[in-house]
Structure 1
């Protein structure tokens, strides 16, 4: 699996571009009705993902765990679903409200998983084998 820190940074850039595009569209059209999705895209997509990536870059042993990969997929999927469904909800597609709710719960699950990683015991390097061990 690719480096989780790099995945988070790359995904964050995609969300930054999307959030800026939403902001530019609002500015050019004079219609600011998607300010909520714009804010969620920038905060949960750009800022939070970049912070997650920074944490994983500073804690490479934790970033190499299978659980970190699952956490990335959970959080990124939730934010992607939330961004699209929230944008469409604000554009008048009221039937997408349940998708927004479910995607919000997926995002929450990704955040809880990240908290488990952050508060979990620190792996320590085994100088003989060069691998991470739990202490």
Structure 2
């Protein structure tokens, strides 16, 4: 396996392990105040990163745009989720961090979309 898909899968596995532990903790306390942040961690962190990693593994694509995609998308998780948790915990001053993380997420997804669409040029007609 190449390094780029492995980086995506490693980050995704870290996110889902953290998300599972967080979910167990919330369940044990019966306090689901932070459930939206937990859901975003699992969706943006686990599902999106794993799907992107699968694309890069199957397509063999990578390069600078692939790594930019990884940096933006994994950076989005690192920025967005903690700020979202703080905001949900009652600190509205954390909103700029959520916005910054969201911007990173959309930039990462746009980079991914560009990589996916540019793959059409390389595909043989069936």
Which residue does 1:105 correspond to in 2? 103
Gaps spanning 5+ residues in structure 1: where? 125-135
The number of aligned residues is 121
CA shift at 1:93, angstroms?
A: 2.0
- Whole-angstrom CA distance in 2 between matches of 1:9 and 1:67: 17
> What are the superposed Cα offsets for residues 55-94 of structure 1, whole Å, 9 maximum, x if unpaired?
000011x12x111111110111012111111111111222
Report runs of 4+ in structure 1 exceeding 3 Å deviation. 121-124
Which residue does 2:70 correspond to in 1? 72
CA shift at 1:123, angstroms?
A: 4.6
> So what's the TM-score if we normalise by structure 1?
0.84
Structure with more helix by fraction: 2
> So what's the TM-score if we normalise by structure 2?
0.90
Which residue does 2:4 correspond to in 1? 4
> What are the superposed Cα offsets for residues 96-134 of structure 1, whole Å, 9 maximum, x if unpaired?
01110111011000000000000014458xxxxxxxxxx
Which residue does 1:91 correspond to in 2? 89
Which residue does 1:28 correspond to in 2? 28
Rg bigger for which structure? 1
Which residue does 1:50 correspond to in 2? 50
Which residue does 1:118 correspond to in 2? 116
- Whole-angstrom CA distance in 2 between matches of 1:95 and 1:22: 23
- Whole-angstrom CA distance in 2 between matches of 1:21 and 1:92: 22
